[in-house]
Amino acid sequence: MNDSRVIMNVQDTDTRQNNFSEVELGYTKKEAIKEANRCLHCLNPRCVEGCPVGIKIPEFIKYIKEDNIKKAYEVISSASALPAICGRVCPQEKQCEGKCIKGLKGEAIAIGALERYVADYAIENNLSSIKSNNKNGKKIAIIGSGPAGLTCAGELAKNNYNVTIYEVLHEAGGVLTYGIPEFRLPKEIVKKQIDSLINLGVDIKLNVPIGNAIKIEDLKKEYDAIFIATGAGLPKFMGIAGENANEVFSANEILTRINLMKSYKDDSKTPIKKGKVAYVIGGGNVAMDAVRSLKRLGIEAHLMYRRSEEELPARKVEVKHAKEEGISFDMLQNPQKILTDEDNHVIGMEVVDMVLGDVGEDGRRSVTENNDFIHIVDCDMVVMALGTSPNHEALKDSNIKLDDKGLIIVDNTKTSMDNVYAGGDIVTGSATVILAMEAGKKAAQEIMNKIG
C-alpha cells in the first residue's frame, strides 16, 4: 500500500520568482483527509511531546478524518492562539513531525500542513473566539506584539483579564509582520489572527515606544502585572572594512522595508535602492528570507555562507524553495572586506574560502579560513543576516537584571522586578515563533497564579 505523505501544492517556480504571493498553497479537503488517514493515533503520541504548546495532535487529526473541522479547531485553539501562523512557519521537522513514529521507518505525518488546513478553515468560516464581557477587573500591560506578546494576551483575555499591548511600530505582529515575507506568511493571515485576539477584548496601542515618554515604572502604577516581549531586533554586523558603505544593509532593514513599507512598489514613499547583484551573508531563515525577497525584486541574488550546505541552519523546505527559485548558493566562503568606489558605493567583496573542521562542543563543525584562496566577487549590494541581539529601549531606568549577552534573566518567566515578567527572544535570544508562544503562555499562567 502506498503510504506516502500527501505533498502540498506550490506556486510554479517561474511564476513565483516574480511575485510575493504565498509559495505553498495549502491542502484541499480531500488531501487533508487523506493525510489525516495516515495517522496511527498512538496511545503515547510522541508528536505531542515535540510540541512546545502541547497541542493534542492525534485528537485534532481524528476530527479531520471525520471532516469535523470545527471540533478540530477547538482542540487546536485551546492550546495555540496562532495556529494559521504556526502551521506555516514552525520548524515542525524538528518538533512534532521530528518525533512522529511514522517518521522512524517512512514519512512523518504532515502535522503542520494539517494544522494550517484547520486554521485557514476557521478563518474562512469565522470560527474565532468570542469576546468575554465578564472582565475580572485586573489589568495587564504587555510590551511588544510579536508571538510572545500576542499569545500571553490571548491566554489572559480568555481568562477575563483586561489586557493592553503596547507596540512601537504602526502595525502589530512583530517579526510575523515585519520580518517573515509575504510569500511564506501572508500578512492577511497575521492580521486575521490578531483580529481574533482583538475580538477576545485585547486592546492594542500602536506607535507607542515604551522606555521614553512611558516607562516601565509608569506602567507599574496603572497595571497589576507587566509582560515584556520586545524581541531581539538589533542586527549584528561583521566588523569588516567597507561595512559602512551605502549599499550594505542588515537583513532586518531590507525585510522591514519590503514587508512593512512595501518599498518595492513604484509608488512607495520610501523606495528601496535596488542593486543588480546582491550577496546575502548568513545561512539561517532570515538569510533565506532576505535572499528570496531580493530575487523577487529582479536582483541576481547570492547566498554566501561560511559552512557547507549540509550545515545550513535554515529550514530544509526553505533551502529547497530557494534553490528552485534560482538563488546562487556560494558555500564555504566568507567576505573579508567590502570594496567601494571613491563615493563609498559597493563595487564588490574580497572573499576567502573556508575549510570545515571537527564537530565542536556546540554540536557544529568548526570552520577556518584558507588564506591561500582569496578572490574578488563583483556586486553592488551586501545584506548581513548574521543574527540579532536585544534592544533595551523598553527597559530604560528599570534596573531589570540582564545576563552578559544582554538578555533578561528570568525565573521561569519572572524578572528581577516585582510583578514584571518576560519571555520570547528578549529572554532566549533569536529563537522561534513557537518558543516565543510557549513563553507567552507560561507567563500568562504565572501572572494568573500570582495575582489571582
CB 63 within 8 A of CB 361: no
CB 168 within 8 A of CB 210: yes
Note whether 262 binds ligand SF4 by CB under 6 A. no
The contact mask relative to ligand FAD for 380-419 (x = CB under 6 A, - = no) is: -----------x-xx-------------------------
Binding residues among 239-278 for ligand FAD as defined by CB under 6 A: 255
Greatest Cα pair distance in the chain: 71
What does residue 355 show for φ and ψ, rounded to 5 degrees? -125, 135
CA angle 438, 360, 303 (to 5 degrees): 70
Burial of 300 (0-12, 13-18, 19+ CB in 10 A): middle
Q: How far is CA 263 from the centre of its chain?
A: 21
Chosen from ligand FAD, ligand SF4, none, partner binding at 56 (C-beta under 5 to 8 Å by type): none
Chosen from ligand SF4, ligand FAD, none, partner binding at 394 (C-beta under 5 to 8 Å by type): ligand FAD
- Which among 100-108, 141-149, 387-395, 410-418 is the span making contact with ligand SF4, rule CB under 6 A? 100-108
Which residue type occupies 61? I
The contact mask relative to ligand SF4 for 335-364 (x = CB under 6 A, - = no) is: ------------------------------
Closest CA to 281 of 339, 228, 338: 338
User: Judged by CB, which is closer to ligand FAD: 69, or 425?
Assistant: 425
CB of 30 to ligand FAD, least distance (A): 28
- Which among 44-52, 133-141, 288-296, 363-371 is the span making contact with ligand SF4, rule CB under 6 A? 44-52
- Which among 33-41, 212-220, 275-283, 418-426 is the span making contact with ligand SF4, rule CB under 6 A? 33-41
Chosen from ligand SF4, ligand FAD, none, partner binding at 109 (C-beta under 5 to 8 Å by type): ligand SF4
CB 318 within 8 A of CB 338: no
Note whether 58 binds ligand SF4 by CB under 6 A. yes
Q: Single out the residue of 53, 55, 100, 299 in contact with ligand SF4 (rule: CB under 6 A).
A: 100
Which residue type occupies 92? Q
Note whether 248 binds ligand SF4 by CB under 6 A. no
Note whether 50 binds ligand SF4 by CB under 6 A. no
Note whether 153 binds ligand FAD by CB under 6 A. no
Give the separation between CA 309 and CA 354, rounded to whole angstroms.
Answer: 13
Which residue type occupies 75? V
Q: Single out the residue of 45, 58, 144, 242 in contact with ligand FAD (rule: CB under 6 A).
A: 144
Chosen from ligand FAD, ligand SF4, none, partner binding at 166 (C-beta under 5 to 8 Å by type): ligand FAD
Q: Single out the residue of 6, 39, 163, 277 in contact with ligand SF4 (rule: CB under 6 A).
A: 39
Binding residues among 431-450 for ligand FAD as defined by CB under 6 A: 431-434, 436
CB 299 within 8 A of CB 276: yes
Q: What is the DSSP string of 2-70?
A: --PPPPPPB--HHHHTT--S-SB----HHHHHHHHTT----SS-HHHHT-TT---HHHHHHHHHTT-HH
User: Judged by CB, which is closer to ligand SF4: 98, or 209?
Assistant: 98
Binding residues among 319-348 for ligand FAD as defined by CB under 6 A: none
Note whether 45 binds ligand SF4 by CB under 6 A. yes
CB 339 within 8 A of CB 377: no
Note whether 296 binds ligand SF4 by CB under 6 A. no
User: Judged by CB, which is closer to ligand SF4: 112, or 201?
Assistant: 112
Closest CA to 98 of 46, 154, 164: 46
Give the separation between CA 354 and CA 408, rounded to whole angstroms.
Answer: 35
Task: Using alpha carbons, list the distances in angstroms from residue 440 to 204, 248, 280, 447.
Answer: 16, 35, 32, 11
Binding site for ligand FAD (CB under 6 A): 89-91, 143-149, 166-169, 174-175, 179-180, 209-211, 229-231, 233, 255, 285-286, 289, 391, 393-394, 424-425, 430-434, 436
Binding site for ligand SF4 (CB under 6 A): 39-42, 45-47, 57-58, 100-102, 109, 111
